[in-house]
Structure 1
Amino acid sequence: MRLFLVLVGLSIAAVSHAHDAPSGWTYPNSCCSNFDCRHVSFTAISERPQGYIINSTGEVLPYSDRRVRISPDGEYHWCSTAGDDRGRTICLFVPPRMN
């Protein structure tokens, strides 16, 4: 019974942190369903005059798109449907732009 309670406790703890980025900030619930968001490298996203390009899908997000958000840790984080590398973008967290 103790082992069962320990395992349940660990499961609850894992779920409570499922929205956390690796650097410790929390992904908004509107962007994530426990697995949709993840840190991506600077090479996964391109900036072009028309906006941000998700390189794996070719999807274009204009700079003014409401799904584009400033990243609290200055890194790229991509939230896609079902966390799929070919999925549609739910949210894209980007480093602050230097103008």
Structure 2
Amino acid sequence: MMRQPLHSLSGGLAVGLAIAAIALAAGFVAKAFPHDALPSAAKPQGWSYPFACCANYDCESVPDAAIVEGARGYEIRKTGELIPMTDKRIKDSPDGQFHWCAHRSGLDAGKTICLFVPPRGS
């Protein structure tokens, strides 16, 4: 009687491909880290944008002239978008400067994700 091998070449190949697929998927599920705002006088060590706002590349410090504060909210001059004062995308700026987080591409390109604003009256 002839013995059959415990596994065949195709079975070994399937297992190898499954292991490779799991390893590849694990590489895509890397831990998400927010990126950092540049140091400023108020925050000499810098600070980190929350990942929910930036997806690791969507935030930047913008000059005061880029954002217009009015009675109805904050207007992003570059896009004309108006964000009401009560909008949950408005965040306190840890360094007292404006920081704008917006989608960089796709259908939502230029749409605000978060806007960090200095204390009012500054």
TM-score range with shorter-chain normalisation?
0.7 to 0.9
Consecutive unaligned residues in structure 1, runs of 5 or more: 1-15
Amino acid at match of 2:47: W
Runs of 4+ off more than 4 Å: none
Q: Which residue is 1:92 aligned to?
A: 115
1:18/1:30 CA distance change after superposition, 3 Å: closer
Amino acid at match of 1:70: D
Give the TM-score taking structure 1 as reference length.
Answer: 0.76
% of aligned pairs identical?
A: 51
Which has the greater radius of gyration? 2
Amino acid at match of 1:48: G
Q: Which residue is 1:54 aligned to?
A: 76
Is structure 2 residue 52 aligned with structure 1 residue 30?
yes
Amino acid at match of 1:19: H
Equivalent positions of 1:35-46 (< 5 A) are 35-46=57-68
C-alpha separation between the residues in 1 aligned to 2:89 and 2:65?
19
C-alpha separation between the residues in 1 aligned to 2:61 and 2:33?
15
Consecutive unaligned residues in structure 2, runs of 5 or more: 1-31, 40-45
Structure 1 residue 30: Cα displacement: 0.6
Q: What is the aligned residue count? A: 83
Structure 1 residue 34: Cα displacement: 1.5
| Higher-strand-fraction structure | 1
